[in-house]
Structure 1
Amino acid sequence: MERPPATYQVHGPSLRIRRMRQGRSVQAVAEAAGISRSYLQRLETGTRECMGPERYIRLRTALNATDDQILAQAEDHPEER
């Protein structure tokens, strides 16, 4: 059985775009994911990029998203190569 990563690095602009395309407020998505509005805002602006597995799964579910749609890709962070 494969263990989930200790943290997930999300792509803030993708979170924001997905939420806005659904016509949902920061508050509504945060409540659905069980996180604070300010935490979601920090994720969307890139002030914060990493999330623990439980919070990440709840946010992904609240946004009805796949990993490919909201996780940061290697090309998003060339300094990590």
Structure 2
Amino acid sequence: MASFTEPEMKISAQEMAEARLPLRYRDYCAHMLVPLNKCRHRTMYLPWKCEEERHAYEKCQYDDFMRRAKMLAQINEAKEKN
């Protein structure tokens, strides 16, 4: 079976707890969600504000999804070979 490397967490569990991130958002993109949430609070969630932060966070989420989809495809290929 192929070996997979997990991406590095760029924010600690302590920092996520201090930012009061819900558990479901404590993933590999959490380091981008903290500044996005700060910007959202600062601008009262105006939809046209914080676009750069939101785009960067959504891109990170997409890249993580694609990484996991590729990993699943490789696992399924390995199972089919056996």
**Normalised TM-score (structure 2):** 0.30
Bigger helix fraction: 2
Q: Which has the higher contact order (CA 8 A, sep 6+)?
A: 1
User: Rg: which structure is higher?
Assistant: 2
Bigger strand fraction: 1
**Normalised TM-score (structure 1):** 0.31
